[in-house]
Amino acid sequence: MSLIRVERLDEQGNSRVSKPLWLAWVGEQMPPLEEVWQLYLRRFTVDHWYRFLKQRLHWTLPKLSTPKQCERWSDLMPLMTWELWLARDIVADNPLPWQKSLDKMTPGRVAQAMGSILAVIGTPARSPKPRGKSPGWKTGELRQRRTRYPIVKKTTTKPRKEQPESA
């Protein structure tokens, strides 16, 4: 891992911003410093993608039990993004009353219009069973509770108050 410290200076060479910007490079070989700023500019696209995953595709919504389940769910996020990207040419823009019509469909607007495609394609799932009182657990079948993992909380340690010296 390589660390880069970026300081913004004014014409006289004085620091314009009091805090330096620290960048980290993890990889085989760090690119030349002339190319690092171009890579830094790409980070805004990545940041927006993560925000889109969390807010629109509900990446952090499911409460999954195991790290493997979390990893599988996270592996689906790029696939869903590609699906939306590829479907942008076949969906019709169907804006809500307060939205403007768009010529170039954004992934969020494509997700909004995916219902029409899914209605045409259908689903491989079976139709739902009729409602009613469920028969419950079979007699003699053992139940196992879900494994609970301890919650890890990070706390900040408060400085101790010094005791006044007694005479």
**Each residue of 45-75: pLDDT tens digit?**
888 888 999 988 889 888 888 889 999 999 9
The reported pLDDT for the residue numbered 71 is: 92
Return the exposure string of 135-153: e unless at least 16 CB atoms fall within 10 Å of the residue's CB, then b: eeeeeeeeeeeeeeeeeee
pLDDT digits over 90-114, tens only?
888 888 889 898 888 888 899 988 8
- The yes-or-no verdict on residue 166 having pLDDT over 70 is no
Asked if 44 contacts 29 with a C-beta cutoff of 8 angstroms, the reply is no
Nearest CA among 110, 2, 101, 94 for reference residue 56: 110
Most confident of 14-23, 29-38, 77-86, 149-158: 77-86
Number of C-beta neighbours around residue 40 at 10 A: 13
- Which position has the higher pLDDT, 77 or 11? 77
Nearest CA among 149, 160, 164 for reference residue 69: 149
Average of per-residue pLDDT across 131-156: 84
Asked if 84 contacts 115 with a C-beta cutoff of 8 angstroms, the reply is no
Q: Which amino acid would we find at residue 48?
A: H
DSSP code for 44: H
Q: Which amino acid would we find at residue 108?
A: G
The token duo for 19 is 């805090």
The reported pLDDT for the residue numbered 1 is: 84
| pTM for this predicted structure | 0.55
Average pLDDT, the chain: 84
The reported pLDDT for the residue numbered 86 is: 92
Confidence of residue 30 (pLDDT cuts 50, 70, 90): confident
> If DSSP codes are grouped into helix, strand and coil, which group holds residue 40?
helix
